[in-house]
Amino acid sequence: MGPSASGTDAIRLVISDEAAGQRLDKALAAAAKATPGLSRSRLADLIAGGALEDESGRTVTDTTRKVKAGEEWWLSVPPPLPADPEPEDIPLDIVHEDDDLIVVNKPAGMVVHPAPGAETGTLVNALLSHCGDSLQGIGGERRPGIVHRIDKDTSGLLVVAKTQAAHSGLSTLFARHEIDRLYRAICWGTPERHDARLTGLAGVSLIPEWIRIETRIGRHPADRKRMAVLKDPEAGRNAITFLRPIRGFGPASLIECRLETGRTHQIRVHASHIGHALVGDPIYGRKARGGSSDEMLSRLRAFPRQALHAAVLGFEHPVSGHKLRFESVLPQDIEDLIADDLDFE
């Protein structure tokens, strides 16, 4: 299959008649022989990292079970990265920088890490140029330590490690959900807490001020390029989002989303799950239906990306222990959607 929405390839592996009754790891190794670059050790590493799913979308890491002929398995294989990303003199909006880390306000349209089809012009290329010799090395290489990502067409705050100590510390903070991440977005409709449709949705609960959404998120069972809310409690990975409306205008609303976990496309999937997909979302969105002025609808429909912005990033500095908190105002393109002069009220 082609590249997925998250930048990985979902490879379909079918158990042959000859492999029936074998251990899963051995049978998959035989099925993967025709896939270039997928050695048995590479396969084992990917499975241990949670990259293998069964036909129902459930993540499987135990490979000791016996298999049956005709079983289908899906393996998410990250694309090969360029061996040596080149430094590029690309302007960056630096919010904070010290000896251990750097916080950047990423513009929409910039890919975070080089990948096939986007080998240049990425945040990593820009950081290699900007940081130069101040990069002390991550994993034995002089490179920026990417500990989290935001989609190419999502704007906002991102923290990157410059040292191994910062990389390890930030990774631990993210794993423990001890990073304060708040996003602002424009969605279709208004997700009101008193809406009876919300209370009937799986994983949705109401707490003071917020709508809490907790579901399993994983590959869509029919379209492996998309992520989806999965019904199987053991499929995918647990995902928790807190969402609240800030201001409604006609057919859309400004909302805030606070992440407890950070799954691929989490906010976009959860917003769509409760019937309020993000404006401009090419994968999980929808077109607005009437009820408002032509000017308003035309602006919303023409928005060229998901209207999502990483607005707040807060964490304890992994080396100094100081509390840090950064906020980024909405970029101009989203600000234009809620401009007062459009008479949205």
**Which residues does the annotation mark as catalytic?**
151
Please report, for residues 32, 218, 343, the alpha-carbon distance to residue 223 in angstroms, rounded to integers and kept in the order given: 21, 11, 40
Nearest C-alpha neighbor of 153 from the set 109, 111, 117, 113: 109
Q: Are 255 and 191 in contact (CB under 8 A)?
A: yes
The torsion angles phi and psi of 40, rounded to 5 degrees, stand at -65, -40
The torsion angles phi and psi of 96, rounded to 5 degrees, stand at -160, 145
Q: Are 240 and 227 in contact (CB under 8 A)?
A: no
Q: Are 38 and 32 in contact (CB under 8 A)?
A: yes
Question: Residue 284: how many CB atoms within 10 A of its CB?
Answer: 20
CA-CA distance, 217 to 134, in Å (whole number)? 38
Close Cβ partners of 50 (under 8 Å, ≥ 6 residues apart)? 59, 61, 237
The amino acid sitting at 59 is T
CA-CA distance, 267 to 241, in Å (whole number)? 7
Alpha helices in 180-293 (DSSP H): 196-199, 266-273
Q: Are 55 and 13 in contact (CB under 8 A)?
A: no
Q: Are 74 and 12 in contact (CB under 8 A)?
A: yes
SS3 at position 110: coil
SS3 at position 166: helix
DSSP symbols for 15-70: --TTTTTSBHHHHHHHHTTTSTT--HHHHHHHHHTT-EE-TTSBB-----SB--TT
- Residues pairing with 175 in the sheet: none
Q: Are 187 and 255 in contact (CB under 8 A)?
A: yes
